[in-house]
């Protein structure tokens, strides 16, 4: 006889995860309270943590890329400013040398 897989609504899973994470309860106690296996609760909590870590990493990469783009833009702007200043100084030097 094969074991039957139960599917639980997302809202129920979130409620169970909140009991563990926000209320600092033991997985085994929460599992007993909701009449589900501790393994199932553990997997839900682990999957939630993995999802949150992945999102945080993705946001970190996006933030880092934005920061790098801003830095690059600032450097390009500064280079353009310095090139203009160099051109002006070269013109001044030429005018001094021609006198």
For 46-58, the DSSP string reads HHHHHHHHHHHHH
Asked if 30 and 41 touch (Cβ cutoff 8 Å), the reply is yes
User: Mean pLDDT, to the nearest integer, of 74-98?
Assistant: 92
pLDDT in the model for residue 65: 82
pLDDT per residue over 35-77, tens digit each?
999 999 999 999 988 888 887 777 777 888 888 888 998 898 9
What is the spatial distance between Cα 97 and Cα 17, in angstroms, rounded to a whole number?
79
Give me the pLDDT at residue 1, please. 45
Fill in the DSSP letter of residue 4: P
Instruction: Give pLDDT, residue 22.
Output: 92
């Amino acid at each position: 006889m094969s074991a039957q897989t139960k599917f639980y609504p997302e809202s129920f899973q979130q409620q169970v995860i909140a009991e563990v994470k926000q209320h600092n309860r033991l997985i085994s106690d929460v599992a007993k309270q909701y009449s589900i296996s501790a393994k199932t609760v553990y997997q839900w909590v682990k999957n939630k943590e993995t999802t949150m870590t992945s999102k945080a990493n993705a946001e970190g990469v996006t933030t880092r890329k934005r920061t790098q783009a801003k830095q690059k833009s600032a450097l390009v702007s500064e280079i353009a400013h310095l090139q203009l200043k160099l051109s002006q100084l070269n013109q001044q030097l030429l005018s001094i040398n021609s006198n």
